[in-house]
């Protein structure tokens, strides 16, 4: 009998150039519990397939946990109650009807079937009135409501910040329901499923592509907030998955491993054309590529720099005064959009803004952590407030153990680059909130959306800030226990949110 962890006789080299002359385990990497590399050295051109001695690999964990939880969220989360989902739904309906860009009838907006708008208002009114958020009777009413030829104009200015690429998965999923005038809730479910498939597919691709921090990428893809965005209609889902893919490409550049040109170009283009300002993460690629001073590194650097410039150009074209935040999420009434005025105020008080951003981040960090693990759009679970912090600490501990070799190897300029980049991105997000999400002179509301906007950056913050001193202390942690933690946290957090409204019939306010 072959010992556990030993190379299989069925393993063959997977050299896409067919120049590898090795035998046996070939270009495959087998990781045992002691992360021992078995087999021969890789040859130039070999494409490694990571193999793990245990039954659960990072991508398998991502699928085993992400698919069922995502489907539960897609079908059981009350309709149109995700993060600004009613507005994103209207944009996806517009695209499914053939309008790649928002039409300009009665301003920047679109006519959609009146029944879709009425169904959305019905669900939201139930929530406002304190009624059960999701019932069988309400579902029956929604399934019986179909378009009847009437249309209503919907304001799409809140979606103008994101290019159409971020809405493509949901729009493709809704093509058939919209074409056959299906009930709005069926179109919503179809869009949610398509969005979930795109999110998980890109996340799995990122995990398979990465040469380091594969458990970290898989675990953060399963963060309850990310799963919620993936299983509802939101441009944040594709944006987050594209960011994970770019981080995976960065790990390959650091390791001097070859990247297929199609993957490099498509992955960077996807983030450049997704929701801004996350395209700024593309700056990691030119810095890492030029530091390697190899032909492959220089090519990756040029592609990264080019797509970074493209993302900046697209953002400048979309950052016109036609943008308007979704007022229902503001919490302080109607917004008098005045980006030029707010921009001048910010530039005239940069030290004050920087201090306010740091103060806001640390004073509101508890709110952000609660939302990462307890919040589905308008609904919050009744988990004790201490549990999200416990989840976060356990998550970091498990990742420091599972990716211990990678964390030990990330030091010096690379680590400092990630840390400074994460801090800079947080400042950019705060400045965007001040310019577009408030008309106040003070900085009192710049952190209101930061829980959702900072979540995709957790992967960069964790890579840079996770305490390396704990790696040795966690060496004795059983591998199975660490993997169980990664699976249990999203399951417990998601189940608690679903049970909040399915069992009690009520939900806490956002």
Cα-Cα-Cα-Cα torsion 196, 201, 203, 209, nearest 10 degrees, comes to: 180
* Residue 437 φ/ψ, nearest 5 degrees: -110, 5
User: 243 pLDDT exceeds 90?
Assistant: yes
Number of structural domains in the chain: 2
Angle between helix axes 224-231 and 365-374 (nearest 10 degrees) is 60
Q: If you ran DSSP here, which 8-state letter would residue 508 be given?
A: B
In a domain, 140, yes or no: no
> pLDDT tens digits for 264-318?
999 999 999 999 999 999 999 999 998 888 888 899 999 999 999 999 999 888 7
Q: Are residues 28 and 69 in the same domain?
A: no
Q: Are residues 41 and 63 in the same domain?
A: no
Residue 257 tokens, joined: 């491993």
Cα–Cα–Cα angle for 293, 468, 384, nearest 5°? 125
In a domain, 260, yes or no: yes
d(CA 30, CA 52): 6
> pLDDT tens digits for 431-468?
988 888 887 888 888 888 899 999 999 999 999 998 88
Q: In which residue are the tokens 């087999």 written?
A: 39
pLDDT of residue 474: 83
Residue 309 tokens, joined: 């410039």
Q: Are residues 409 and 454 in the same domain?
A: yes
Question: How much is the average pLDDT of 472-493?
Answer: 90
Residue 371 tokens, joined: 């939302």
pLDDT of residue 470: 84
Torsion region of 472: left, alpha or beta (phi above 0 gives left; psi -120 to 50 gives alpha): alpha
Which of 6-15, 71-80, 287-296 is the least confident region? 6-15
Q: In which residue are the tokens 């990678």 written?
A: 406
List, in sequence order, the alpha helices (H) in 333-468.
339-347, 350-363, 365-374, 386-402, 404-409, 413-436, 450-454, 458-465
Q: Are residues 45 and 62 in the same domain?
A: no
Domain that holds residue 316: 58-73+190-502
Name the average pLDDT for the chain: 83
User: 103 pLDDT exceeds 70?
Assistant: no
pLDDT of residue 318: 77
Of the two residues 173 and 338, the one the predictor is more confident about is 173
Which of 11-20, 85-94, 324-333 is the least confident region? 11-20
Q: CB under 8 Å to 290, separation ≥6 — which residues?
A: 297, 298, 301
Q: Are residues 69 and 18 in the same domain?
A: no
In a domain, 258, yes or no: yes
Residue 432 tokens, joined: 């965007």
> pLDDT tens digits for 373-431?
988 776 778 888 899 999 999 999 999 999 999 999 998 899 999 999 999 999 999 99
Of the two residues 223 and 26, the one the predictor is more confident about is 223
In a domain, 183, yes or no: no
Q: What is the CA radius of gyration of the chain?
A: 23
Report the length, in residues, of the chain. Answer: 510
Residue 239 tokens, joined: 């944006």
Q: Are residues 67 and 3 in the same domain?
A: no
Q: CB under 8 Å to 151, separation ≥6 — which residues?
A: 111, 112, 113, 114
d(CA 51, CA 262): 24
d(CA 372, CA 483): 20
Q: In which residue are the tokens 């054309």 written?
A: 273
pLDDT of residue 291: 87
pLDDT of residue 135: 77
Q: Are residues 23 and 68 in the same domain?
A: no
pLDDT of residue 9: 47
Q: CB under 8 Å to 60, separation ≥6 — which residues?
A: none
User: 5 pLDDT exceeds 70?
Assistant: no
d(CA 75, CA 507): 17
> pLDDT tens digits for 107-138?
567 788 999 988 888 887 777 777 776 778 88
Distance of CA 343 to the CA centre of its chain: 28
User: 45 pLDDT exceeds 60?
Assistant: no
pTM as predicted: 0.86
Asked if 307 and 282 touch (Cβ cutoff 8 Å), the reply is yes
Rounded alpha-carbon distances, angstroms, from residue 309 to 91, 182, 393: 26, 41, 37
> pLDDT tens digits for 182-207?
999 999 999 999 999 999 999 999 99
Residue 357's pLDDT band (cuts 50, 70, 90): very high
In a domain, 265, yes or no: yes
pLDDT of residue 2: 47
In a domain, 226, yes or no: yes
Q: Are residues 349 and 410 in the same domain?
A: yes
In a domain, 364, yes or no: yes
d(CA 157, CA 10): 56
Residue 16's pLDDT band (cuts 50, 70, 90): very low
Q: Are residues 47 and 64 in the same domain?
A: no
List, in sequence order, the alpha helices (H) in 13-113.
58-76, 85-96
Burial zone of 36 (CB within 10 Å; 0-12 exposed, 13-18 middle, 19+ buried): exposed
In a domain, 106, yes or no: no
Q: Are residues 437 and 492 in the same domain?
A: yes
**% of the chain with per-residue pLDDT over 70:** 82
Of 391, 421, 394, 65, the closest CA to residue 230 belongs to 65
């Amino acid at each position: 009998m072959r010992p556990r962890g030993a190379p299989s006789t069925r393993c063959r080299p997977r050299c896409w150039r067919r120049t590898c002359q090795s035998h046996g385990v070939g270009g495959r990497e087998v990781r045992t519990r002691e992360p021992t590399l078995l087999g021969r050295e890789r040859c130039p051109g070999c494409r490694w397939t990571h193999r793990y001695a245990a039954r659960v690999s990072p991508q398998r964990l991502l699928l085993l946990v992400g698919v069922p939880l995502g489907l539960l969220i897609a079908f059981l989360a009350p309709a149109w109650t995700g993060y600004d989902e009613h507005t994103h739904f209207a944009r996806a309906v517009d695209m499914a009807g053939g309008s790649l860009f928002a039409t300009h009838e009665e301003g920047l907006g679109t006519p959609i079937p009146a029944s879709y708008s009425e169904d959305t208002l019905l669900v939201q009114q139930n929530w406002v009135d304190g009624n059960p958020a999701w019932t069988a009777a309400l579902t029956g009413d929604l399934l019986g409501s179909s378009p009847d030829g009437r249309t209503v104009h919907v304001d799409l200015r809140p979606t103008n910040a994101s290019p159409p690429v971020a809405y493509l998965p949901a729009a493709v999923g809704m093509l058939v329901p919209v074409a056959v005038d299906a009930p709005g809730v069926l179109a919503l479910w179809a869009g949610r499923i398509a969005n979930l498939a795109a999110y998980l597919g890109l996340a799995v691709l990122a995990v398979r592509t990465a040469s380091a921090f594969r458990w970290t990428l898989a675990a953060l893809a399963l963060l309850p907030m990310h799963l919620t965005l993936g299983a509802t209609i939101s441009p944040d889902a594709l944006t987050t998955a594209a960011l994970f893919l770019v981080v995976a490409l960065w790990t390959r550049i650091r390791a001097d491993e070859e990247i297929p040109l199609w993957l490099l170009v498509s992955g960077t283009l996807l983030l450049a054309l997704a929701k801004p300002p996350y395209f700024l993460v593309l700056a990691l690629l030119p810095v890492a590529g030029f530091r390697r001073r190899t032909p492959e590194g220089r090519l990756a650097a040029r592609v990264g720099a080019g797509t970074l410039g493209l993302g900046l150009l697209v953002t400048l074209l979309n950052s016109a005064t036609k943008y308007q935040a979704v007022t229902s999420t503001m919490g302080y009434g109607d917004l008098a959009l005045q980006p030029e005025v707010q921009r001048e105020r910010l530039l005239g008080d940069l030290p004050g803004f920087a201090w306010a951003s740091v103060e806001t981040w640390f004073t509101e960090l508890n709110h952000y952590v609660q939302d990462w693990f307890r919040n589905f759009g308008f609904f919050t679970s009744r988990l004790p407030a201490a549990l999200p912090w416990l989840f976060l600490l356990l998550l970091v501990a498990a990742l420091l153990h599972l990716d211990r070799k990678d964390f030990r190897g990330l030091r010096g300029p690379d680590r400092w680059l990630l840390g400074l980049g994460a801090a800079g991105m947080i400042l950019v997000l705060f400045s965007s909130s001040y310019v577009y999400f408030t008309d106040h002179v003070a900085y009192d509301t710049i952190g209101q959306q930061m829980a959702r906007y900072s979540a995709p950056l957790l992967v960069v913050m964790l890579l840079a800030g996770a305490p390396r001193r704990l790696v040795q202390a966690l060496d004795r942690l059983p591998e199975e226990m660490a993997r169980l933690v990664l699976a249990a946290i999203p399951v417990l957090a998601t189940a608690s949110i679903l049970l909040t409204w399915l069992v009690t019939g009520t939900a806490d306010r956002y």
